[in-house]
Structure 1
Amino acid sequence: MNRFRRGLLELWAMFVLAVAVGFLGPFGTYHNDPFVYRVSVWFLLLMGAYLLVRPLMLILDMVANATSLPARPLRFWGAVVATAPVAALWSIIGEDTLRAEEGYLLLVSFALLCGLAVFAVTEWAGWADRRVRARLSVAEVDVSKFQESAPPELRDDRDTEEGTSQASDPPLRARLSPAFVSPIVALQSEDHYVRVYGANSSELLLMRLQDAIAEMGNVRGERVHRSWWVALSGVEAFGRSGRAWVVRIAGGKRVPVARASVERLQKSGFLPDVPRKDCVGRVET
């Protein structure tokens, strides 16, 4: 996920929300303030709600990853719990604008709607970010075709049960929860954490990517990007779009390959050195 793009999508949605609320003009602002002023004030107030609710949702995402609890319900209830501090903030810095003669309870009710709106904005931004990424199409290279010409040492993990068994229990597995039952297929750096991918699940670990790679032991794989390491046994297909490469791993996720690493990976035998015409199919990434 591109965090910068995700942030821009959320800020855009918050601005659209501020325009809508400013147009409606709640708390008596419709008749007392011009439209542009209403929008600017409500954008600042809604961003105050966003800055309180969004960090709490990020914390709850980490809790969900650490405890295997469902992330979306946790984020939803986090937005609800954040209603109280949002209302308190508005009562202090927005009393002239809000004109809440009806009292604090009405302010809490409106803050609840805003907290849920922030939740909806983040959910929409996640969906929109996935749609943006899905617009990039690449042509796939059949892995089985490539394996026929791959060096023997790279075929071991796929072609022998012994290799599969040996690669299934690297030291890193000891850090994962019992619910993580599939082989490790990829590692992704996320700030100070590493996301460990299996075929059907993923977990976050508080460690550096290079340390996680070291704990993969004898599992054959390559660091294909500064933020990604991929196990050879987890590769389902390779993809090309011009000079750009992606790797599809077990579970369907597509991992970018740094252009500076393509030549190295082809020399090592991890990536196939095939012409464009040998790529098959069209897939979304």
Structure 2
Amino acid sequence: MKRPFLQSTLRELRLVVKAPRLWATFAAVVLIFWVTGPYGSAERLAVVPRLGFWLVLHAITWAIAIVSAVLANGLLRERVASGFVRMMIGAAVASLPIGLVTTAIGSATFSATPTAPGVMADIATGLFLSLLFCALTWMTMNTESMLELNGAGATATASDESGNRTSGDPVPNKDTGGIPLLLRLKPANRGLPLHLTVSDHYTEVTTTGGRELILLRFADALSELGPVPGLQVHRSHWVADAYVARLVRDNGRMTLLLGDGTEVPVSRTYAAAVRLRWG
């Protein structure tokens, strides 16, 4: 595998395991299984061993489901548009190892001999649990997206003749309430967007408040800019009107000099729009 893929996968895993809500949900599920004692565990295990059994079983199965879902999210990124569908595919694949692990732990705990019907039943149960864990993981990774849908809502954008995203003329309010993208940033970095650029599977967002790397496809980030005046100038760069210092031409090659001194390349696809806007 390529190193950038491994790096992005590890970052996504860290994002998941650092989420307090996921751990709270995990603890609640383990508590429910411990207290209710399903699958005969209440009759066959004392209170403390039963807690240990369900804690170990859920820790391993959740880990398998989450790792599989995050791996599928990265591997299928170019083939499947929906992140949720990508992760659910990974969760479905994880049902097989989850079922086998469940069988192994159950057999070792209860001194039982595995049978083919029992293994198939554990795999079927593993499929249900894996999909459930994946759904919880997805909600954990997209809490801010849910806030945007419930609060900020959608904002209209305009397109140029070639279908590339451009912004309209209206200038957002100083409170930046019309820019859904900002809800993904830390409060200290929430200001008017100035520059967006691709970094692996992430988007680096520069605002008047600061700079931050977020787990979001570039196209999705552009769709959340709201009415900020600016233009996509390259497949990996979007710049705001207010951040462009001047257009630089050098032997037919065009770049934009930004307010912080950075030079951004202009691709041929966007050259005409750039000349019209800043030339």
TM-score by length of 2: 0.48
